[in-house]
Amino acid sequence: MNVMTRVFCLVFLLLIGYNLFWIGSEFRSSGEVSQTLHIPFYWVTYAVSLCCFIECIVFICDILRIQRGEA
């Protein structure tokens, strides 16, 4: 059960990270900025996407630790 929940979360976060990276690319190419401060949006979506991918690495490490019997 532990492995299945981590695999589900891994797939879910991979999809979120990929989509956020794609949205960030669209923001960058279109030049989207905030209305009042004119701060670009793309770096925020790239940062959140990177965090999702880092969390995927954590889930992979958890799965490997569970498979070895350490958890």
- With beta carbons less than 8 A apart as the criterion, state whether 70 and 61 touch: no
Domain ranges of the chain: 2-68
Can you tell me which residue has the tokens 């991918």?
53
Q: Given this model, what pLDDT does residue 70 score?
A: 83
How high does pLDDT run on average in the chain? 95
Query: What pTM was computed for the model?
Result: 0.87
Q: Given this model, what pLDDT does residue 22 score?
A: 97
- With beta carbons less than 8 A apart as the criterion, state whether 53 and 17 touch: yes
The per-residue pLDDT for range 10-42, each reduced to its tens digit, is 999 999 999 999 999 999 999 999 999 999 999
Among residues of the chain, what percentage have pLDDT more than 70?
99
Give the whole-angstrom CA distance, residue 46 versus residue 53.
Answer: 11
